[in-house]
Structure 1
C-alpha cells in the first residue's frame, strides 16, 4: 500500500516540475511508512546513515516543501518540536498527555462541520483540524500499576 502512495506523491511532484532527489524520496518514503508522526530530528536520525552529508536543514526544507504542496501537515503542539504527518485522507489525532504518542483517527462525516460553520458564521472556511487529548492505553496501564 505505502509504495503506491509514495509513487503517487512522486508523480505529483514531477508534474509540478519538482526535482526528485534521493534524499527527498527517502524523507517522503519514511513519512509514508512511519506511523509515529516523526519530528524533523527523528527523520534526520533515521536517514543520516544512508545520507552522511545530509543536514537537518535539508530535512526541514523538504518538510516545508511537502507541507506547501499539501502532502504533509505540520502538527505543532505546545512548545515541543513539530511532528509531521503524511496525509492522503482527512483524519484527526488522538494525543497522549503523558508520552506524546499521536494516533490517527479516521472519522468520516466530520466534513459537514466546515459547511455548518460557514452557515453559522459567514466565514469562508479553508480547513479544519481536530485534536483529542487523553491517556493512551500504555500510559493508562502504567498508572494502574
Structure 2
C-alpha cells in the first residue's frame, strides 16, 4: 500500500503535480519537519530563490490547496499567516519574542474533545520572556 504523502493526496484527487506545487510542498514539509511554523512570506521568499518567476498568487493558491485538502492548517497572528502540521497540539505564540512553540498537553486536548471540539491546532497568545 502506497503511503499517503501530500503529493499522493493531491495526485489521487486529480491535481497535476506541477514543478511549482512539488517545490512548495517539499519546502513546507521540510520546515514542518524541523518544527518551524513558516509564514506565507517565508515560503514565498524561499521558493522565489529557487523559482524566480513564481508569483505570490501561485504560492498562495498552492498553500490554500494544501489546506483545503487537509495537508496543513494555518493560523493568523499580527497580520501574518502561519502554516503548521495537522495534528492535535497547542501553538503558543510568544507576543514578546515572535516565536511559536508547540505544546502537547493531552489533558487540555481531552477537555476540548469532551466539549465536542475536535482540535487540529489551538492557538494561545502569551508572553514568553527571554
Is this a same-fold pair by TM over 0.5?
A: yes
Match of 1:86 in 2: 85
Q: CA RMSD in A?
A: 2.3
The reply to whether residue 22 of structure 1 matches residue 19 of structure 2 is: yes
SS in 2 for 1:99: coil
TM-score by length of 2: 0.80
Structure-to-structure mapping, 1:96-135, within 5 angstroms: 96-118=94-116, 125=117, 127=119, 129-135=121-127
User: Residues 31 and 37 of structure 1 are in contact (CA less than 8 Å); yes or no, is this contact kept in structure 2?
Assistant: no
Pair 126,86 (structure 1): closer, same or farther in 2 beyond 3 Å = closer
Which is bigger in relative contact order (C-alpha 8 A, separation at least 6)?
Answer: 2
User: Residues 88 and 119 of structure 2 are in contact (CA less than 8 Å); yes or no, is this contact kept in structure 1?
Assistant: no
SS in 1 for 2:91: strand
Instruction: Give the deviation of 1:67 after TM superposition.
Output: 0.9
More strand by share: 2
Match of 1:11 in 2: 8
User: Residues 93 and 132 of structure 1 are in contact (CA less than 8 Å); yes or no, is this contact kept in structure 2?
Assistant: yes
User: Highest Rg: 1 or 2?
Assistant: 1
Count of residue pairs the alignment pairs up: 125
